[in-house]
Structure 1
Amino acid sequence: MTSLSKKPLFNQFISSLLLVLLLDLVFSSTASVSSVTSPFAYANSKVKLAEESKEAVVLLNWKLSLHNKSHSLWSSWVGTTPCNWVGINCDQSGSVTHLNLSSYGLIGTLHNLSFQSFPNLLSLDLSDNSLYGIIPSNICHLFKLSFLNLYDNQFTGRIPSEIGKLTSLNSIDLSQNHLSGHIPQEIGQLSSLRFFALALNNLIGVIPASLKNLSEVIILYLYENQLSGSIPQELGMLSSLTDLELFSNSLTGVIPASLGNLTNLFRIVVYDNQFSGSIPQELGMLSSLTDLALSINNLTGAIPASLGNLTKLTYLTFFNNKLSGPIPFEMNNVTQLKVFDLSDNQLTGHLPENVCLGGVLEIFNAEHNHFIGSIPKSIQNCSSLVRFLHEKNQLTGNIGECFGGVYPNLVYIDLSYNRFYGRISSGLGDLTQLHVLNLSSNKLDGEIPKEICKLTSLGPIPNTKAFCEAPIEAFRNNKGLCGNTTGLKACPSAISHNPHVKRGNKVMKIISTLLGIVLLIFIIIGITLYIRSRKMKTKIKLKEEEHQNMFAVWSYDGKMVYEKIIEATEDFDDKHIIGVGGHGIVYKAELSTGQVVAIKKLHSLSEDSVVNLKAFTSEICSLTEIRHHNIVKLHGFCSHPRHLLLVYQFLEGGSLEKILNNDELALEFDWVKRVNVVKGVASALSYMHHDCSSPIIHRDISSKNVLLDSEYESHVSDFGTARIMSSDTSYWTSFAGTFGYTAPEHAYTMEVSEKCDVYSFGVVALEVIIGRHPGDLISSFVSSSFSLSSHDVLLEDILDQRLAHPTNRVAEKVVLVAKIALACLHTSPQSRPTMQQVYQKLLNWKFPFTKPLRMITLRELIDLGNLNEAS
């Protein structure tokens, strides 16, 4: 080698040596030349130190760009060697290979994290933080990266196409962010990929056919985006795929038959899309399949017989489609099902006989179809059964023989609107966990059996949760059913149905007649003595006597409870008052039994009798029509010359108005609780408007009429002005409601529709997050003085300042509540969302912005428009 060729090498050595000397000055290194065997060895050690220090400088620079610089994590991030820092691992040469900072609550961007400085990085895990901004395109410099996890952050913008250069990637998870745009075609270049997750984002466009090149991929999660188009036939080439989840998108077309080639699949979850056509019979080739969810689509045709080959299925749902025809006989081979849901289709024929042969079925739902025949006998093997819903079919059979097994976990039975006959089985008394039982609109007869529980002077209806809390609708329209409760005919005297006893019927009739005459004489004498006794002890007027027994409380002796209420409230002493309303006063009553109830005492009939009696009957009619977790429970009522009483469940938390007006209580009412309260009210109103037989409009939704229990669960109360609508059109009536919560059209024109409740809900939702009634804010929306600068007020600045600002996912939910509330306050009723839309948005929430809370203005909340346009 010539001296000329050696010169660059010498220059390189000199440069390295100068860098070493510079680093000695910067980092005050204690190493000395004398401790190194030669200048070259010394230079090599210092060059290695320079590489480590360069990575350290980049990481420290990124740390300084983050918002939470005082995090305890950073206490270890000192010095020039990052290999000793928390969250970092290095190889033997001291180069960073793993950066794992998951779940440290980091807030900031990746702009200052220079990926070029980490040539040996193998894994990058920044999941479960609050990082935002875009994913930088220079991530493509991590050539050796095999593991990338940015799950559960707030990244926005597009997925950089440069990510396709990371051909060493085995796993990539970008789920639960706010990424938008299309899935890059370049993803198809990642031939080593085994785990691929882009779920819970705002991605649009089609699933790229280039994904066919991911021959090693095992898990593919694209669910809860806004993807459209059809499933590419090419996905049938992903021979290693075991888990395919595409649910909650806007995918169309048919489910491709090519999926039948994926013999390693154990999960196909594609519900909540717009798929049409029939279920491909090729799915029957997937012998490893355990979960098949095809619900909430537009699928037609019959269930293919080939699905009977899927003997490992444990989860099978078809609900909310347009399937028709009988369930194929081959489905009797599928005996390991835990969840089987066929509801809301047009299936016909018999239910599969072996549906619970394996004894593991937990949920069986076939409601709203055209099934005939009896309940499968294999149900008697299902001690695991939790929910059994078969309403609105044409099923038949003896009700007493349907449930002959032991069901310690069964909480829900609905067999209404069928053709079941016979007596209610006494075996139902063993269902100690039962919460809901509906047997209405069948052909049941006989008495509700006393064997179901130990009776405590309650009559033939047993004292269990399922019966005592069930409305009469649960038993209605069974002509032969009898019992001592409102809506059922009284049961005849107990006569043995044993055929051997019938031989002595003539003798028994004679004896019964004689005994009846004797008993009648005693009854007449007893009544006479009783009346005389009452006249001597009291001086109550005849009119009061006529009304004395008009108290009707479900599962209680009305007169007894009435007297207990008078005793508990000390004849309605003011010290027991817990609230005052437009139509009456609410008292807290602790009965001698220990039960605590709320008593709403309306003004006596002599005071504005028409108005109060109308409010009284309206509240009873409304609350006997509905039963919902977020609606206050009516135990009973009493009509008396002195009082009109409504007996409610007592809710310990008091009203929403009381909590927001009390600084101490408001501090305990944190953001998570507040969002849950708003969701609860929305759930109640959605139920009233859309799930009752006739829509019910509350007309007085306000913070004083939202009550909270000890767990801060919300309950809508005060149905005195409620109206049951005969149709879904609006109508006009006298003004009702609370000023400040009333929709403009009702205040000005007396027009009433469900959109009046929507408006009131919007006021309450805003009140919850800003901590006070939003009157000034609402007025500014419609005022001509609402300037452009007012639009630019930050949402953060109007939130309840008594609480620290919400962060992370909670902040996103608060923003969503604000967005929904403003949509509900639109001056045009037609432009407001329905409560069903509101509740669905709160239930399946998606953050409507691509920026953090501190940057969101009221202008942006208003400009988002209706809930269907932005989510």
Structure 2
Amino acid sequence: MSSERLLHFVFFLLPIFLSELPGGAAGNTQAEALLVWRATLKSHDNISSWAVNSSAAPCGWKGIACRQGKVMGIELPGGGLAGDLSSLDFSLFQDLETINLAGNGLTGLIPRRIANLSQLVSLQLQQNQLSGELPGELGALGEKLLRLDLSENHLIGPIPPSLGNLSAINHLILFKNQIDGEIPGELGNLVNLEDLELNFNRLSGSIPRTLGRLTKLGVLQLYENRLSGPIPYSLGNLTELNTLLLFNNYLSGSIPPEIGRLKKLFLLSLSTNNLTGGVPSSFKNLTSLTDLLLFENELSGALPKEMDFAAMAVVGLQKNRFSGELPAALCRAGALEHLNAAGNLFTGGVPDGLRNCSSLGRLILRENQLVGNLSEDFGVYPVLEYADLSSNRFFGELSEKWGRCTNLTMLQISGNNISGEIPRRLGELTMLKVLDLSWNQLRGEIPEELGGGLISLFELRVNGNELSGEVPSSIGRLTELEILDLSGNQLRGQIPVEIGNLAKLRSMDLSRNMFNGKIPTQIGKLLDLQILLDLSKNAIAGEIPPELGKLVMLEALNLSCNRLTGAIPASLRNMISLSSINLSHNFLEGPLPESDFFRRAPAAAFTDNRGLCNGSGGGAASELGLPPCNSISDVRGRKRRKVVLLSIFLPLSAVVFFILALAGYISCFRRRRGDVEEEDEGDVEAFSSADLGRGITLHDVAAATAGFDDKFCIGSGGWGSVYKVQLPGGGGATVAIKKLHAVDGDESSFKNEVRALTAIRHRNIVKLYGFYFSRRCKFLVYEYMANGSVAAVLRRDEAAAELDWAKRVRIISEVASAVAYMHHDCLPPLLHRDITSANILLDEEFKACVSDFGTARFLNPEQSTWSAAGALAGTLGYLAPELAYTVKATTASDVYSFGVVALEILAGRHAGELIGELPSPEGREKLLVEVLDWRLKPPTGQLASAVLVAAAVALSCLRVEPARRPTMDSVSMRLTDPRPPPLPAPLRSIRLRDLVVLDEAAAVSG
């Protein structure tokens, strides 16, 4: 009986067993194919469960999904796989429905055999390093394929028209590749498409009208390409569209009214194109719109009154020619965060909705024709960071309410008709960096509270008003101040001595006021003054302080139209950066200082000073017809002549003595070494320096180097050698002497460096103390930088570890400040042309100074480029890409080199390989922490934010197209922001592509 039951049981199971046999065999074959592929991968730790002896092979393996023993899905996103797909036999997976290998390190081509997977529903290979062209065979997956995502790879070539056969597809995502050619019209056949993302490629031509057939489309992203022509009116058929991004192309023509049909649209960006005409009235139907970005086009006319701006969060209209009034509904729903309408022709008042718009973070209305009462039209904005209302027609008083906007970093209301007094409560804005109230009708005194509370302020402009009273002594507490302009007011009293505490001041204009008393000697402590010192048109009396001669970086000095008496201090000849001076209309007497600058200065700079005399016999003194100084016959004159004769005779005797001694000395060490030869063939140029307290002579150099003995040499290269020496006397200052090899043709480089460094001065540009030039010998005397070059520091692990994140961010900011000075504050602008980490020197406090100006060139004021006929200047690895096909250097070339250096400082090494990958999706997919110097712990807190900003700025400087790089002025501004934006995500998860987005967002909101 039991045997009979057993037989029945066997017959019952046999059909089931036989029916399962093919699937089992298939499973084994598929397992073998997967193991073969696994063996070819360079990295496969995450699929260690794939094993031959596994009883569950392959259906129990990680990332493998099965149905009835057959593999239906291979899903290993972010699996850390590295290798290619060529060894995976797709012919054994005919039932495969899903492939998801996104976010790995896959390389090579996309296998054409994938096209044979007729059951495939989803193919996701994004965020890899796949290359080659898109296989046209993928069009054969038309019946089942719903999702094709190949974004963020290295794919090239055109989009195959055969992709128009993917009739079932609803997601086609190809962004961030290098795909070129035109968008095929066949994509209009994809009537089930919901998401089309082709942005960040090199697509050209026009947008196909056939895309208007995609009536199920919700997202259309074509931005950051090279598309041209008009926006097709057929896009108005896409009634399900919620996102339309066409910015940063070359689109032209008018905005089609049909866009107004897209009632579900919430994000629309047509910015940075060549669009003309007005905003269609049909936009009134876009009631779901939250982000409207139309900036940087040629749009004109009034915005439609019926358009619903109530719920919009971001509105960017800047740099167009819009007219009429601002939309009345702005911020009516309390959602507005960013409004930028700068650079248009808007008139009328400020919409009521803006008055109490508590959500507002940035408000930029500059350069329009807006009117209204400032105290009534604006309220309190708790999160407002940036407000620019400049160059409009606002009137009324400046309300105390602005002092309650405690997050403000910039408040600019210049060029309006504002009256009343400056509110004392503005002194509570501790985050404020820029306060510009210039060219209004403000009255009263400058509040003392401004000096007590604006601890972050670096620019204060209240010029062109009607301010009166004395300047409060508290102004000396604004220790971060770099720009101070109080000119064109009715300020009186003495200039406060506390102004000497503003050590970072670069420009000070107190002209056209009623100041009296003397010029404070403390102004001589402002060693960073470089752009302007203007005290003209006041009632200042007394003598010019000799301490002003310490301002060796100052370029423009104006003391005209005062009551100054006495002689012009001889120390003013030490102001070697001066390019403009005006001492006219005073009561000065005596000779002009002996220097080339004063000899070349125009006569108008000294006119109407009846006591001046001609001591040199030429230049401005002769043009003014001044009497010889030795013809003045009064007693004071005779005494002065005695002093002058004595002051001439003694130094002359000393010079003769030193020349004789030096001749003997040179003769001795010539016989001993022969390094300094035939010195009578050139001239010594010695600069007096406030830092050294004395002039430098050839004798000093010869004695200090023992004839350029090797024991003093601290470095050498193809151009020459550098010596560290301590000069005799004068406090024994330590200097660096760069002696150039006697190579034919190096005279030009030597003279370039001298010409550049004697024309400019900046705290972050290396100081040149003196130079010597003859046929056989050329050298330059610099300040000594104890920590050497950035390149040298980064090469040494111990030194690099000492260069922490705070120092690195500061160094990047200091270099940016120096280059911004060269580009924007020098007239004419100066191109460095060789900004490298080897040319950035660090002093003992790690302050950075730009050096090596041998290739520098001043731009012709009428040109924007420097064309070099000879060999390419600069250092490989730091040259801008456009210099490969043009010899025309521009400021943008320096910007690119700065970006390379900034990235190198953050990475701790030259990032040449990374820079080469940046244009590609996979390069931008790198994590920021993978790029940062591994020898330092990742930054945290606010320092992490500062590093993030520095990295984002560096990447923006490395854009391939020169026109899209930022200016160094804007770079320096971003890097000096005392409150960088918070991290958008944990630092460990931020990728380089996120930095690109952050930088673009900064451009939109700024």
Whether 1:61 aligns to 2:195 is no
Segments of 5+ residues of structure 2 without an aligned counterpart are 1-8, 431-444, 476-483, 495-517, 529-574, 577-688, 698-752, 766-786, 868-872, 881-887, 918-922, 933-953, 972-1006
Q: Alpha-carbon deviations, 1:140-172, whole Å to 9, x = none? A: 121111111111111111111111121201111
- Provide the secondary structure at the position in 1 that maps to 2:181: coil
Q: Retained in 2: the 8 A contact 1:447–1:481?
A: no
Partner residue in 2 for 1:593 = none
TM-score after normalising by structure 2: 0.54
| 1:175/1:483 CA distance change after superposition, 3 Å | farther
Whether 1:417 aligns to 2:405 is no
Partner residue in 2 for 1:25 = none
Which of 485, 488, 492 matches 1:487?
A: 485
Return 683-692 or 100-109, whichever deviates more: 683-692
- For residues 426 and 145 of structure 2, the distance between their equivalents in structure 1, rounded to whole angstroms, comes to 62
Q: Retained in 1: the 8 A contact 2:169–2:192?
A: yes
| 1:659/1:407 CA distance change after superposition, 3 Å | farther
Amino acid at match of 2:195: I
| 1:689/1:124 CA distance change after superposition, 3 Å | farther
Q: Retained in 2: the 8 A contact 1:683–1:839?
A: no
- Provide the secondary structure at the position in 2 that maps to 1:48: helix
- Provide the secondary structure at the position in 2 that maps to 1:187: helix
Give the 5 Å matches for 1:539-558. 547-548=521-522, 550-551=524-525
- For residues 282 and 452 of structure 2, the distance between their equivalents in structure 1, rounded to whole angstroms, comes to 44
Partner residue in 2 for 1:809 = 926
TM-superposed deviation, 1:448? 2.3
TM-superposed deviation, 1:687? 6.4
Q: Retained in 1: the 8 A contact 2:463–2:488?
A: no
Which of 107, 120, 129 matches 1:154?
A: 129
| 1:104/1:833 CA distance change after superposition, 3 Å | closer
| 1:345/1:837 CA distance change after superposition, 3 Å | closer
Partner residue in 1 for 2:77 = 102
Which of 354, 370, 374 matches 1:395?
A: 370
Whether 1:660 aligns to 2:635 is no
* Identity, % of aligned positions: 35
- For residues 145 and 97 of structure 1, the distance between their equivalents in structure 2, rounded to whole angstroms, comes to 9
Amino acid at match of 2:109: I
Partner residue in 1 for 2:164 = 188
Give the 5 Å matches for 1:556-567. none
Partner residue in 2 for 1:245 = 221
| 1:762/1:309 CA distance change after superposition, 3 Å | closer
Partner residue in 2 for 1:314 = 290
Q: Alpha-carbon deviations, 1:648-694, whole Å to 9, x = none? A: xxxxx998446404313547999x99999999899879966888897
TM-superposed deviation, 1:258? 1.3
Partner residue in 1 for 2:257 = 281
Whether 1:139 aligns to 2:127 is no
- For residues 693 and 388 of structure 1, the distance between their equivalents in structure 2, rounded to whole angstroms, comes to 32
- For residues 228 and 545 of structure 1, the distance between their equivalents in structure 2, rounded to whole angstroms, comes to 64
Amino acid at match of 2:296: N
Partner residue in 2 for 1:82 = 58
Q: Retained in 1: the 8 A contact 2:120–2:144?
A: yes
| 1:270/1:707 CA distance change after superposition, 3 Å | farther
Q: Alpha-carbon deviations, 1:367-426, whole Å to 9, x = none? A: 11122233222111310101111222222333333422x211111112223333343222
| 1:230/1:40 CA distance change after superposition, 3 Å | same
TM-superposed deviation, 1:766? 9.6
| 1:58/1:680 CA distance change after superposition, 3 Å | farther
Partner residue in 2 for 1:254 = 230
- For residues 103 and 337 of structure 1, the distance between their equivalents in structure 2, rounded to whole angstroms, comes to 37
- For residues 553 and 460 of structure 1, the distance between their equivalents in structure 2, rounded to whole angstroms, comes to 25
- Provide the secondary structure at the position in 2 that maps to 1:103: coil
Return 418-427 or 198-207, whichever deviates more: 418-427
TM-superposed deviation, 1:764? 4.2
Amino acid at match of 1:488: L
Amino acid at match of 1:312: S
- Provide the secondary structure at the position in 2 that maps to 1:133: coil
Give the 5 Å matches for 1:678-827. 696-697=829-830, 699=832, 701-703=835-837, 726-729=861-864, 754=891, 757=894, 761=898, 764=901, 809=926
- Provide the secondary structure at the position in 1 that maps to 2:38: helix
- For residues 405 and 907 of structure 2, the distance between their equivalents in structure 1, rounded to whole angstroms, comes to 46
TM-superposed deviation, 1:241? 1.0
Whether 1:73 aligns to 2:47 is yes
Q: Retained in 1: the 8 A contact 2:857–2:866?
A: no
Amino acid at match of 1:487: D
- For residues 254 and 181 of structure 1, the distance between their equivalents in structure 2, rounded to whole angstroms, comes to 24
| 1:169/1:773 CA distance change after superposition, 3 Å | closer
Partner residue in 2 for 1:373 = 348
- For residues 398 and 770 of structure 1, the distance between their equivalents in structure 2, rounded to whole angstroms, comes to 51
- Provide the secondary structure at the position in 1 that maps to 2:62: coil
- Provide the secondary structure at the position in 1 that maps to 2:131: strand
Which of 136, 150, 158 matches 1:174?
A: 150
- For residues 395 and 255 of structure 2, the distance between their equivalents in structure 1, rounded to whole angstroms, comes to 36
TM-score after normalising by structure 1: 0.62
- Provide the secondary structure at the position in 1 that maps to 2:319: coil
- For residues 403 and 768 of structure 1, the distance between their equivalents in structure 2, rounded to whole angstroms, comes to 44
Q: Alpha-carbon deviations, 1:309-362, whole Å to 9, x = none? A: 21211000110101111222223x321110001111111222112212111101
- For residues 673 and 140 of structure 1, the distance between their equivalents in structure 2, rounded to whole angstroms, comes to 53
- Provide the secondary structure at the position in 1 that maps to 2:926: helix
How many pairs were matched up?
A: 631
| 1:724/1:186 CA distance change after superposition, 3 Å | closer
Q: Alpha-carbon deviations, 1:787-816, whole Å to 9, x = none? A: xxxxxxx969x99xxxxxx997369989xx
- Provide the secondary structure at the position in 2 that maps to 1:55: helix
Partner residue in 2 for 1:432 = 406
Q: Alpha-carbon deviations, 1:685-724, whole Å to 9, x = none? A: 996688889785474845377699xxx9x98879999989
Root-mean-square deviation (Å): 5.3
TM-superposed deviation, 1:467? 7.9
Q: Retained in 2: the 8 A contact 1:462–1:468?
A: no
Whether 1:451 aligns to 2:451 is no
Q: Retained in 1: the 8 A contact 2:219–2:243?
A: yes
Q: Alpha-carbon deviations, 1:481-513, whole Å to 9, x = none? A: 99836422598799xxxxxxxxxxxxxxxxxxx
- For residues 455 and 759 of structure 2, the distance between their equivalents in structure 1, rounded to whole angstroms, comes to 24
Partner residue in 2 for 1:442 = 416
| 1:379/1:614 CA distance change after superposition, 3 Å | same
| 1:284/1:757 CA distance change after superposition, 3 Å | closer
- For residues 346 and 245 of structure 1, the distance between their equivalents in structure 2, rounded to whole angstroms, comes to 26
Q: Retained in 2: the 8 A contact 1:55–1:96?
A: yes
Amino acid at match of 2:218: T
TM-superposed deviation, 1:122? 1.4
- Provide the secondary structure at the position in 1 that maps to 2:259: helix
- Provide the secondary structure at the position in 2 that maps to 1:154: coil
| 1:766/1:262 CA distance change after superposition, 3 Å | closer
Q: Retained in 2: the 8 A contact 1:445–1:479?
A: no
| 1:223/1:184 CA distance change after superposition, 3 Å | same
Q: Retained in 2: the 8 A contact 1:183–1:205?
A: yes
| 1:54/1:215 CA distance change after superposition, 3 Å | same
Segments of 5+ residues of structure 1 without an aligned counterpart are 1-33, 495-518, 521-543, 555-582, 585-600, 624-630, 633-652, 733-737, 745-750, 775-793, 800-805, 815-820, 826-831, 844-871
